[in-house]
Amino acid sequence: MGADWESDNCWESQEWRLNHLYWIEVKNGPPIRFRMNWAQREFYRNMWYRNNILKARQLGMSTLISLMILDGCLFRSNWHAGINDKTMAAAQEKLEKIRFAYEALRTPPADGIDHVADAGDRERIAAFSREIYTLTKPGEHHLTATAGKWSTGSTVVIGTALRSMTLQFLHVSELGHVAATAPKKAKEIRDGSLPTVGQGGVIVMESTHEGGKAGLNYEMTKAAMEKVGSKLTPLDFRFFFFSWHGQPDYRVESGETLSLSKELRDYFAELEGRGIVLDEAQKRWYAAQFGIYGYSMRQEFPSTPEEAFETQVEGAIYGLMISSLRAEGRVQQEFTADDDWPLYVSVDIGMSDYSSMWLIQPRGDGMFYVLDCHTVNGKGVEHLVGVIRSWEAIHGQSVRMVFLPHDGARRESDEARYVQKVQRQGLPAIVLQRVRDVWLGIDMTKRVLRKCVFHARCSEPRLVDGISYMAGLNALENYRTAPAGNHGVERPVPLHDNASHASDAFRYFCEAFDAGLVDRNLLQRTVREERGWQVGVARGVPWRR
């Protein structure tokens, strides 16, 4: 800032105002005069009408956006902003940032740290700040617990699902968490809150991601990523990604000699293969955080956008096992079916609901090679049989057996049983006996998962009639227990959602294997033999005695 700073129309520049007028509170220290960091500056200078920010934690995006809202209310007339957050308490924290910064215009914090070096410049800025506070204070200004209003006629309102209003600026915070824990609320935000902003207004969605490759936040973020490099309309979202390794503070300069586990060595080598080269201080910081967060580092502090989607949802049943398979390099593999070993298909039936099925080949090395998964909604037997026939053509061999759940024996409207319809199409099919407790089946599934290798196709969403369905591996990752009910009462049952269909279909294969319906010569020791169960088959249905 030079001696002619006032004649350069600094006051008319919002970027200058943001970096010189406002004070913020920080953790473990006195207040400081705000100045944009690298991520905040990159976002501000490239902001679009619609913005989708995927980020690591603690990069200060919500602080920047709160100050932008305050600045808009002070320097624009009849301008209206909203903050939509995961909880009311979280929204109130952002409103408190606005309150603190506004009050500090009049009385800067006595112990505050000021980056403006020249004493004369500091006084000019302070005088202007007091003037702005005075002009917007008399009579018409007030900040309540849920809203703020200034004499400019501009306002800010907060909530968890804003709707039925007209806004020029909307901040949607942590949609990733909302979509993973309350899908209906996420849709309410999409369908009710986003339309409050017209084409000329600005929407900023910023979130760390939760829920893997599923849910509304994933769908919206993926759509924004696919627009990168394209010419955007005012209604298209511009994608921003801010990784942990871009943050200068995320490093440990000194400490013990760096000793990394094989898992972290492989991880850092993988990043180098993508052109992300970390220094020793960054690796030391990441290793220390990994000791705290474990596999959740990919959610909390992603290195790449794709990594952010490889996360575990709260209550995930198989999430940790899938993360272990990823670390061992047993997902997204490329391999072909082996003619020496049979193919099996397991199906979860849905009539007016979803249907899912897996193509799996157990081999003599004791491993289960998972070749493909298909999920669809509103399709009958003919569609699923057609997919199986296409798999047979691709891999050059017939399916040994199709495993159907207990409801495969039910009759359809034409009085034919589902299993009979499959058999009439020339496919061998068997109906499995219902396991008395779903958690027994889940335990069987965990035993099989330890020996699985997943083809890359299992990580790819399936497109049918223009509709994208969740990839099979992501369904297994997102399969979880039902959230707590009223008064926090736990419900120890799997949640029935879009992830449960493919997860049930995979479990049926594991139950069939446990029941001895998979070729007994395939494995040296089977789960059934380990547990000492005897299994028989009566009228084509497995039973235990």
> Whole-angstrom Cα distance, residue 40 to residue 31?
18
With 0.85 as the threshold, say if the pTM is over it: no
Spell out the domain ranges in the chain: 37-106+142-242, 264-327, 343-544
pLDDT category at 5 given cuts 50, 70, 90 is very low
Number of Cβ atoms within 10 Å of the Cβ of 457: 19
Under the banding of pLDDT at 50, 70 and 90, the label for residue 412 is low
Residue 537 pLDDT class (50, 70, 90 cuts): very low
**If residue 393 lies in a helix (H) or strand (E), which one and from where to where?**
helix 381-395
Which of 115-131 are b and which e, b meaning 16 or more Cβ less than 10 Å from the residue's Cβ?
Answer: ebeeeebbebbbebbee
Q: What is the pLDDT of residues 86-127, one digit of tens each?
A: 999 999 999 999 999 999 999 999 899 999 888 888 999 999
Which amino acid, one-letter code, is at 121? D
Alpha-carbon span 312 to 162, nearest angstrom? 29
For 42, the token pair is: 């990159």
Average of pLDDT values for 253-258?
A: 75
Q: Locate tokens 């909880």: which residue?
A: 87
Outline where 182-308 has alpha helix (H).
Answer: 183-188, 216-226, 262-273, 280-293, 297-300, 305-308
Tell whether the model's pLDDT for residue 1 goes beyond 50. no
pLDDT of amino acid 8: 53
Which of 71, 55, 56, 69 has its CA nearest to residue 105?
71
Report the relative pairing of strands 368-377 and 452-454 from DSSP bridges: parallel
pLDDT band at 490 (very low <50, low <70, confident <90, very high): low
Could you give the count of Cα atoms lying within 13 Å of 432 in the half-sphere of its Cβ?
28
- Take residue 102 and report the two structure tokens written for it: 């506004």
Cβ atoms 302, 308 nearer than 8 A: yes
- pLDDT band at residue 543, thresholds of 50, 70 and 90? very low
How high is the pLDDT of residue 117? 87
Give the pair of three-digit tokens for residue 216. 């509304």
Backbone angles phi, psi at 501, to 5 degrees: -65, -55
Q: What are phi and psi of 165, to 5 degrees?
A: -150, 170
Output the pLDDT for position 326.
83
Mean pLDDT of 39-44: 96
* Gap between the Cα atoms of 361 and 453, Å rounded: 10
Query: What is the per-residue pLDDT across 326-335, written as a single tens digit (0 to 9) for each?
Result: 878 899 899 9
pLDDT at position 2 = 37
Q: Indicate the angle between helix axes 500-514 and 438-449, nearest 10 degrees.
A: 80
Query: Which CATH entry fits the domain spanning 37-106+142-242: 3.40.50.300, 3.90.1300.10, 3.40.1030.10, 3.40.50.1000?
Result: 3.40.50.300
Of the pLDDT bands very low, low, confident and very high (cuts 50, 70, 90), residue 484 is: low
> Which residues make beta-bridge pairs with 535?
544
Task: Tell which residue, 45, 43, 79, has the closest CA to residue 63.
Answer: 43
Residue 36: pLDDT band by 50, 70, 90 thresholds? very high
Helix axes 119-136, 88-106, angle to 10 degrees: 120
Residue 237 has pLDDT above 60, yes or no: yes
* Mean pLDDT calculated for residue range 27-44: 94
Closest CA to 80 of 20, 187, 145, 158: 158
According to the model, what pLDDT value does residue 417 have? 82
Question: Could you give the CA distance from residue 436 to residue 188 in angstroms, rounded to a whole number?
Answer: 38
Q: Please say if the pLDDT value at position 72 is more than 80.
A: yes
Q: What is the pLDDT of residue 540?
A: 37
What mean pLDDT is predicted for residues 469-492?
A: 75
For residue 408, count CB atoms less than 10 angstroms from its CB and return exposed for 0-12, middle for 13-18, buried for 19 or more.
buried
Q: How far apart are CA 335 and CA 360, in angstroms?
A: 12
CB of 329 closer than 8 Å to CB of 494: no
246 vs 37: CA distance, rounded Å:
11
**Is pLDDT at 438 greater than 50 in this prediction?**
yes
The proportion of the chain whose per-residue pLDDT surpasses 70, expressed as a percent, equals 88
CA distances from 205 to 87, 135, 154, 183 (A): 15, 32, 21, 16
CA distances from 50 to 73, 163, 235, 240, 280 (A): 20, 17, 6, 11, 38
Higher pLDDT, 359 or 377: 359
Tell me the residue type at 84. N
Of 206-215, 294-303, 479-488, the one with minimum mean pLDDT is 479-488
What's the CATH code, domain 343-544? Answer: 3.30.420.280
Q: Which residue has the higher pLDDT, 181 or 194?
A: 194
User: Is the predicted pLDDT of residue 313 greater than 70, yes or no?
Assistant: no
Q: Considering the chain, what percentage of its residues have pLDDT values greater than 90? A: 58
Per-residue pLDDT at 414: 52
Q: How do 147-149 and 142-143 pair as beta strands? A: antiparallel
Give the lowest-confidence range in 258-262, 363-367, 413-417.
413-417
Distance separating alpha carbons of residues 162 and 170, to the nearest angstrom: 9
Name the DSSP class of 404. Answer: E
Structure tokens at 352: 């007016």
pLDDT at 521: 57
Which residues face 372 on adjacent strands? 359
Taking a C-beta distance cutoff of 8 angstroms, is the pair 404, 432 a contact?
yes
Of 90-94, 312-316, 499-503, the range with the lowest mean pLDDT is: 312-316
Cβ–Cβ < 8 Å for 338, 363 = yes
Task: Please state, rounded to an integer, the average pLDDT across all residues of the chain.
Answer: 86
pLDDT at 523 over 80: no
Q: How confident is the model at residue 4 (pLDDT cuts 50, 70, 90)?
A: very low
- Cα(110)–Cα(63) distance, integer angstroms: 21
Is 237 within 8 Å of 227 (Cβ atoms)?
A: yes
Computed over its alpha carbons, how large is the radius of gyration of the chain? Answer: 28
Q: How would residue 311 be classed by pLDDT, with cut points 50, 70 and 90?
A: low
Contacts of residue 512, Cβ cutoff 8 Å, sequence gap at least 6 = 344, 346, 401, 403, 430, 432, 518, 542
Q: Give the chain's end-to-end CA distance (angstroms, integer).
A: 85
pLDDT band at 518 (very low <50, low <70, confident <90, very high): very high
The pLDDT of residue 99: 94
